[in-house]
């Protein structure tokens, strides 16, 4: 049986977040299973199921080099800049 990853939109206005996974042979059954497993108490208003094998993921071992380019760029944050005294709304 195929493994499906389940993403749930908890409420209107929020984006889907990963909730867990289910097993099923086809998408329709996966959706039903996901509904039964993850939304028994109205935890969601919308469900996505995605074949786990269709997800490409970064691996934990490469965590450092993979995310390294963002680490030393402090000028991407507003706090890097000095706001002169008295300048409002910046």
Partner 1 sequence: MGEGLLDQVAEAEAELLAAADRRLSRGDDVQAWFDAVIEADQKVEPRDWMPDDYRKGLIRQIAQHAHSEIIGMQPEGNWISRAPTLKRKAILLAKVQDEAGHGLYLYAAAETLGITRAELVDALIEGRQKYSSIFNYPTLTWADVGAIGWLVDGAAIVNQVPLCRCSYGPYARAMIRICKEESFHQRQGYEILHTLSHGTPEQKAMAQDSVDRWWYPSLAMFGPPDTQSTHSAKSMGWKIKRHSNDELRQRFVDMCVPQAEVLGLTLPDPELRWNDERGHHDFTEPDYAELMRVVAGDGPCNAERMAHRRRAHDEGAWVREAAAEFAKKAATRKGEENR
Residues of the shown chain interacting with partner 1 in the complex, contacts defined by CB under 8 A:
9-15, 46, 73, 75-78, 80-90
CB of 20 to partner 1, least distance (A): 21
CB of 80 to partner 1, least distance (A): 7
CB closer to partner 1 out of 33 and 48: 48
The whole-angstrom separation of Cα 35 and Cα 45 is 10
CB closer to partner 1 out of 61 and 80: 80
Element (H, E) at 78: none
CB of 61 to partner 1, least distance (A): 22
CB closer to partner 1 out of 10 and 24: 10
Q: What are phi and psi of 23, to 5 degrees?
A: -110, 140
- DSSP sequence for 33-59: HHHHHH-TTS--SEEEEEEGGG-----
Which SS3 state, helix, strand or coil, does residue 5 take? strand
């Amino acid at each position: 049986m195929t493994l499906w990853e389940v993403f749930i939109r908890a409420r209107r206005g929020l984006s889907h977040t990963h909730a867990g996974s289910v097993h099923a042979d086809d998408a329709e059954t996966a959706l039903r299973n996901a509904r039964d497993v993850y939304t028994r108490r109205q935890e969601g208003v919308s469900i996505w199921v995605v074949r786990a094998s269709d997800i490409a993921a970064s691996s934990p071992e490469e965590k450092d080099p993979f995310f390294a380019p963002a680490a030393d760029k402090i000028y991407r944050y507003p706090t890097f800049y000095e706001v002169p005294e008295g300048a409002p709304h910046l």
